[in-house]
Structure 1
């Protein structure tokens, strides 16, 4: 275990190289590394040069009443979207430290999740399942299915994607897709995930991935009903309760109640403009862990 840990963490050897040298499989190497962390033989320390961020995280955790809050500083990031880049890095670190071998990790696409594979260096062997239907984009953007496959590759686990759109054109189409055996199997696996990663959107054209895909009259009716946030394709009001004036029948994915049943739901968000949406998700019991940038954290405290 010590030899494998030294090769991987100190000498930056790949799991493939270590497997070749030791005669283990790549999966066995990953399992040894996970056991080394679990046993305390390996500990991971992330340097934090801003004690204020820890204090801010504690204040937000107490204000929201959730189990854990991590506040990241975008620092000297040169990315075009530094806050998204920083939160994606924080999410990658959190998953690397908390996911255990044999677990199932559920993922919903967001701009932060899109950046996750490039930040995720290692993770315990686990299956990765898509919690909601696919979003695809032109050019070199990374969509839902690609993210699932890339994260599963890092974890050396099995990817369980959904090859069907998040928003179906009609309720009948969505219902037929849910009954398809290959999709029903993935959704059943998603319901039994050990952890989930979600974004929390606002009911605006810029803040929600589903709003531009819906008929305008349905968008207006949902706004009039008090839409405050979108999570995993589901719309909620300021108290975190479901709003459904016709959107849900178009959505392919886990329900809000099924999301609440997942033991640990991690919300990864950036931007002060999402504060009300985050509060709504927390009030609805839909988020257990929050990873946020500093502007969002301060907005959640009203400062």
Structure 2
């Protein structure tokens, strides 16, 4: 295991939900954190960089001289309206990043590429392991599967780990994602909410668990491997509402809006985290009720 103290890490997409939490977590480990953002940012030690531009990352990497790179920059909202953008950013952008690393002067100890459990699609297994063949059912998932194929071509050239995070949430996640949307309604004590299919089951982790796993993977000897990052349990939206009703002390009226029901919806996802926890048995899964409680009672 590698010591993180005084090491430099570059996070692409640092201004997003995961990037902000990851920055704080890595700094607590004694690391110096730099980042890229699509537009200019007031965040310290960040650089504006467009990963769809083949040359934009080389200068940043040479300026930072990172020991580690964590690639988060992506179109991550499944309902994003521009199908082509998924492929420009998630596939071509990742190819550009890897080419930039090879062209740079950096001596990289580890690269983490964030993929997604969405690539598994609809599955009949109780727990999805890394060996399950991908069956993506939407453009977001297809772009991530294509990205993984591109990344695997670099395994012999660079020390890469691909992560497949399942759903995760926490304080600061945008409200167009479902859990923050539902929590926000309860925080504002609204009486009604419009949702789509309530019988969609997802494996929800805390963003704190995700960034802790990423930090540990940076220092591991693993390379050329794929890791699920998940809780190992799944909950439906209906169950999430019921948990929040208990925590908030009142019931909310749910209206099903057909516009929110996607034809390509993956019905049930629960991940097998055995590979990750076998490597890091000290990783602690946060229970969903505790995640919701923290989000609900955090001051606006």
Q: With the length of structure 1 as denominator, give the TM-score of the two structures.
A: 0.30
Higher strand share: 2
